[in-house]
Amino acid sequence: MIMNDLQGLRFGRLTVLRHSDKRKHGYVVWTCLCACGKFSEVRSNHLVSGHTRSCGCLQTKHGDTGTKLFRIWAGMKNRCYNKNGVKWEWYGSAGIRVCSEWINDYCTFKEFALENGYKEGLSIHRKDSNKNYEPCNIEFLTKSEHGKMQHT
């Protein structure tokens, strides 16, 4: 049994998803999802003390953390992997996943998006709503076009 259950709590940009069954220096290690969409494992004392507030993205060099495209990438991952997320039921629970190329690599996703028609004002759309977020199943649409579709 875990003494202090942190599951579902938010620390800075990190939301605690689950206990990782690991210990480091005597502390419980938690699997967390950062607001940027990246997963990380963090010791409980680092979460509670505020020592660790993100996966490291607060120091990222790509500089896109506040952009719409970065929020699209993070949202895509949140829908698929955050069991506490509002849209989990329609995505993660339904088995929708993010391809291995993009899951922990925003820069690869960004490169794909820019080479495949993404520009400000567009949103991501899965062509086949039963398939994963992957290069062959993604397009970028306007709000109007997207509104005509059932799912993103």
Residues 133-147: tens digit of each pLDDT: 999 999 999 888 877
Domain extent, residue 142, equals 61-147
In a shared domain, residues 89 and 122? yes
More confident residue, 125 or 4: 125
The C-alpha angle 75, 29, 24, rounded to 5 degrees, equals 145
Distance CA 135, CA 38 (A): 19
Confidence bin at 124 (pLDDT 50/70/90):
very high
pLDDT at 125 over 90: yes
In a domain, 49, yes or no: yes
In a shared domain, residues 130 and 82? yes
pLDDT in tens, 87-119: 989 999 999 999 998 987 888 899 899 999 999
pLDDT of 152: 45
Closest CA to 27 of 7, 42, 9, 38: 42
Q: Are 91 and 152 in contact (CB under 8 A)?
A: no
CA distances in angstroms from 79 to 66, 95, 117, 123, listed in the order given = 19, 11, 23, 14
In a shared domain, residues 139 and 93? yes
DSSP three-state, residue 10: strand
In a shared domain, residues 73 and 143? yes
In a shared domain, residues 24 and 81? no
pLDDT of 52: 84
Name the percent of the chain lying above pLDDT 90: 39
In a shared domain, residues 25 and 71? no
Distance CA 115, CA 103 (A): 18
Hey, what are 17's tokens? 């998803």
In a shared domain, residues 68 and 143? yes
In a shared domain, residues 69 and 49? no
Q: Are 77 and 98 in contact (CB under 8 A)?
A: yes
In a shared domain, residues 33 and 46? yes
pLDDT of 17: 93
The count of domains in the chain is: 2
In a shared domain, residues 28 and 93? no
In a shared domain, residues 91 and 24? no
Residues 6+ apart with CB under 8 A from 18: 7, 30, 31
Q: Are 20 and 34 in contact (CB under 8 A)?
A: no
In a shared domain, residues 95 and 135? yes
